[in-house]
């Protein structure tokens, strides 16, 4: 399965991880890194309590930066991360 098909499957599927009220911490970042290593592309949903007054775009980009991944998509409080960059025109 190529990455384009995997992206579409992840986009339509359930979140791989739901981020709760504890927000971003070392344990969460390590878990995301392990999930990215295993699945290559993951979908993360943030609960309202995970925002702590921060903008969701900032949180998603911060997680992408700290896990050395690429933010592919952000819709509402759900975003998709990938270990490899995909060209938006190919999706």
Q: For residue 39, what pLDDT is reported? A: 93
Total-model pTM:
0.89
| CA angle, 7 then 75 then 19, to 5° | 85
Domain ranges of the chain: 3-82
Is pLDDT at 89 greater than 60 in this prediction?
A: no
CATH 3.30.110.60 for the 3-82 domain, yes or no:
yes
The whole-angstrom separation of Cα 31 and Cα 14 is 17
Mean pLDDT of 4-26: 92
What is the per-residue pLDDT across 28-83, written as a single tens digit (0 to 9) for each? Answer: 999 999 999 999 999 999 999 988 889 999 999 999 999 999 999 999 999 999 99
């Amino acid at each position: 399965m190529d990455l384009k098909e995997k992206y579409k499957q992840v986009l339509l599927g359930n979140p791989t991880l739901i981020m709760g009220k504890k927000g971003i911490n070392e344990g969460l970042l390590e878990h995301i890194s392990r999930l990215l290593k295993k699945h290559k592309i993951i979908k993360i949903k943030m609960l309202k309590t995970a925002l702590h007054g921060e903008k969701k775009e900032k949180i998603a980009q911060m997680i992408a930066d700290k896990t050395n991944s690429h933010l592919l998509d952000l819709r509402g409080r759900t975003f998709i991360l990938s270990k490899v960059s995909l060209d938006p025109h190919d999706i």
